[in-house]
Amino acid sequence: MSKIIAINAGSSSLKFKLFEMSTEQVLAQGLFDRIGLAEGEIKIKYGVGEKFETREEIKNHSYAVKRLLELLLDLEIIHEFSEIKGVGHRVVAGGEYFKRSVAIDSKVIKKINSLAEYAPIHNPANLMGIKAFKKILPTAAAVAVFDTSFHQTMPKENYIFSVPYEWYQKYGVRRYGAHGTSHRYVADVAAKILNRPLEKLKLISCHLGAGASICAIKNGKSFDTSMGFTPLTGITMATRSGDADVAMLSFMMQKLDMHSMPEAIYDLNKKSGLLGISGVSSDMRDVMAKSSTNPRAKLAVDIFVKDIVKYIGSYTAEMGGVDGIIFTAGIGENSAEIRSEVLKKLSYMGIMVDEESNAVRGENIVISTEDSKVKALVIPTNEELMIARDVAKIMTKKNVKSAKLV
Ligand code: ADP
């Protein structure tokens, strides 16, 4: 029996999923929220529909990890800490240095720290999670899985921006992309469903959550992706603008009497996207519910659909064709309507939707007709499972045990 835990540590939260790796069964999953604030929140789901929920102060990440492990014992999910053989940590920015998941040692820690300038909120939080686990589970293998590493295979013409080249050479300004673990997971599953080798497929993965990105996956490798240097670019998102003309910011800074660039960028990150266009909500369900009566809500949905169609069209052209289009994450997995709208606009490619299959929820499923030239699929993402699989792979390959931290 080998148990692996996947960890996603944010600045004030820690999410986890504990797997029994021999069967990939989820033993428990949950969230420690509002870390460092007066009233923290702990939610754990385990067993057959069992739940544990409480509110209490969670001082810091170390305390959250200690409490999590104690609760796993108390709830009899594990019987001793040593049953957890590996810990996989999601890390947001891996820069150009981390091209794949790695066993964590002191050098890796230093590097993740030095990459914090690319993800100032996330990387330090990820490191807090790493250090907290290392203290409490010193003998478990620790592995870092980067959101960016899948995209390190992009050809140069797809990651270099059309700006002074020195910006890249001196400061590392380039397209890094995001959601890599999700795109990698759904591409693997798609190849299995289509019963074709991943290395021979041209896929376009649409990760449509609050944050959203599209990825062209050619022969199993990320070929191009819509998120850029930061996760602000690409398609319209819940509150993020997606692609925007940066010169409008200096114009708007004058109009709105803003004094700093971060203040202006805040509006592109937090007040734009579905929320900014519709004025209704950042949540796609609310926006769709109002779209028959509120023209701005309808416009927000129309722009969202148009952006997806535009990226799929351009990625198909870049790859010289496409075999399958994958929908995943909150909107991609749950909204038959958005999928149908997108795919209808792509009928010129020979895609035909099977509306009966499209109506099914929460499964790995092909939603195009038998004779559709390009296949369309819905694949619920599972970034945590991908993280746990990477840990298992690295443990077997390198026989990683305890990596010493300084
Ligand atoms: P993230 O992980 O990026 O926070 P999720 O992947 O959970 O986001 O997706 C959240 C989005 O999914 C929200 O905009 C929500 O409205 C949308 N969503 C969930 N269910 C549906 C649905 N049935 N129809 C349309 N949108 C949905």
- CA 109, CA 112: separation in Å to the nearest integer? 5
- List pLDDT tens digits, range 175-205: 999 999 999 999 999 999 999 999 999 999 9
- CA 179, CA 182: separation in Å to the nearest integer? 5
Catalytic (active-site) positions: 147
CA of 113 to the centre of ligand 1 (A): 31
Tokens of 134: 């290392």
Using CA positions, which residue lies closest to atom 7 of ligand 1?
A: 330
The predicted structure's pLDDT at residue 403: 45
Average pLDDT over residues 360-372: 91
* Sheet strands (E) in 121-194: 141-146
327-344 burial: b if 16+ Cβ within 10 Å, else e: bbbbbbbbbbebbbbbbe
Percent above pLDDT 90 for the chain = 93
User: What's the pTM value of the predicted model, to 2 decimals?
Assistant: 0.95
Task: Extract the annotated binding site.
Answer: 8, 15, 90, 207-211, 283-285, 330-334, 383
Better pLDDT: 400 or 203: 203
Which ligand 1 atom is at minimum distance from the Cα of 207?
6
The predicted structure's pLDDT at residue 11: 84
Average pLDDT over residues 283-287: 97
Residues having CB within 6 Å of any atom of ligand 1: 209-211, 238, 283-285, 288, 329-331, 334-335
| Number of neighbouring beta carbons within 10 Å of residue 188 | 15
The predicted structure's pLDDT at residue 402: 46
Residue that has been written with the tokens 């013409």 in this structure: 157
Under the phi-then-psi rule, with left for phi > 0, alpha for psi from -120 to 50, and beta for the rest, what region is 279? left
Contacts of 285 (CB under 8 A, 6+ apart): none
Domains observed in the chain:
3-146 (3.30.420.40), 196-383 (3.30.420.40)
Q: Give the torsion through C-alpha atoms of 97, 102, 107, 110, to 10 deg.
A: 70
Please provide the average confidence, as pLDDT, over all residues in the chain: 95
